[in-house]
Structures are given as C-alpha cells and as structure tokens.
Amino acid sequence: MSSDPAKAELLRSLARLVRGLSSLFWGLPLALITYVQTAQTNWLDLLGSMAIFPSLLVTGLLMFGLLQLRHFQKQERIWIRALDSAQILIFINLGLVPFLYWWQKAPYVLLFRVAVGILAFCSIFFLYNLNYVLQRLTAMLPDEALRMETKLFTSFNRSLLLIIPVLVVLHVILTNVTTLPGIIIAFLNTIEPFGIWLLLFLVLMPLAMTMALIWKIKEVIFNSVFEGER
C-alpha cells in the first residue's frame, strides 16, 4: 500500500517535469523570435500600450517551465541550486523585456540601451544555465547514454555561449579605441550593419542543440513511464 502513494507522487512529478520541458522547448524559440522582432520591427504597434505583453508572455512561459521542473526530485540540492540560478536570470529578464519595445521607439535613450544590453547578456547566461540544468537532470535519470550525450553537448553549448559575451565586449572596446590599424577599422565598419544578425547566428546553434536535448530527455521520460506501466 505504501508504494502506491509513492508511485502516484512520482508520476505526478514526472508529469510536471514533462510539462516544464515542453514549456521550455516552445518558450525558447518563441522568446528569441519575439525579442528580436520587438526590438527590430514595428510589428507590435497595432497593440498600442499592450505591445510589451508578447515578450512578457513568452518570458513567463519560460518561468512556468522552470517552476514545473522544481517539483521533480526536490531533495536534490545541486539540482535545485541549478534551477535557482536559471530562475533568477529569467526573473531579471521578466523585468527587462518591456525595454525592448521602448528602446525600439527611442533608441537614443541611454537607460533603454543599457537595459536591452543587460537583457541580452542575461538571456545568454540563462541559456548557459539551462544547459547546466539539463545536465543535472540527466544525472538523475537512469539512461547512461543520454547522460553522456547531454554532458557532451551541454559542455559544448556552454563553451560557445561564453564566447559570445567575450566577442561583444571585444567589439565594444575596439569601437571605442581611436588608434587602430586601418584594416581593423575597415573590418569593424563592414560587420557593423550585420552585428545583430551575426550575434543571432552564434546563438542559434546552442539554442537548437538545447531544444534537441530537451526533446530527447522528454522522450526518454515518456518511454520510461510507459515501460514501467507494462
């Protein structure tokens, strides 16, 4: 009799885990699309004062996903600490996403520019921490192959994501240095119009691999539940 409540509780936590992974899977690309479109286009002008809400909604979806994950293995301190770090970053994003729309309307305002810059860095480090969350999650699952695969790809993703802020900071430093060789100045002037798209290109690879890992982890959990029911 005692195993039945424990089994029911485990199934509930697994259901919330799958729900959280699904929210993260769909929330990540939606957040990227919404953030970029809000900052770069006028597509939300029809919403008027409500234009900030699409970004808030997709960020809230990511927050919801993390909250669902917390119901799984609550006693694991390393796992919970990893979730805490990711939640702090997404909570910061939740407060900063309205600045995307305001910056699009008034890009010359320093406060808006700084807020959008912080949002970009927090988003990158959120994805960095999310990869660590996935690594800790698979460490608690019985699938050894999945554990090794996740460790490999999350390590690669995190290394790549660390390079992005370094490149951005290097670019900012170089653009503010007055005495540079002509070839470097020409190179910086060439890439300047494509800066945001180059940054997106660098983000897309770890984002896509993170989504693939989330989907695979969810499938493994589904399969383990169904096999356990046989």
Cβ–Cβ under 8 Å, residues 172 and 114: no
* Residue for token pair 């899977």: 25
**Pair of tokens at residue 72:** 């799984």
Instruction: Report pLDDT for 188.
Output: 63
Q: For the chain, which residues make up each domain, given as ranges?
A: 3-229
Q: How far apart are CA 33 and CA 42, in angstroms?
A: 14
Model pTM score: 0.85
How would you write the pLDDT of the chain (230 residues) with one tens digit per residue?
Answer: 445 676 777 778 888 899 999 999 999 999 998 988 888 777 777 777 777 888 999 999 999 999 999 988 888 899 999 999 999 999 999 999 999 888 888 888 889 989 998 998 999 999 999 999 999 999 988 888 889 999 999 999 999 898 888 877 776 776 666 676 767 667 666 766 666 677 777 888 999 999 999 999 998 887 776 555 54
**Pair of tokens at residue 28:** 């990540």
* Residue for token pair 């470097």: 184
Q: How far apart are CA 185 and CA 196, in angstroms?
A: 18
Cβ–Cβ under 8 Å, residues 61 and 23: yes
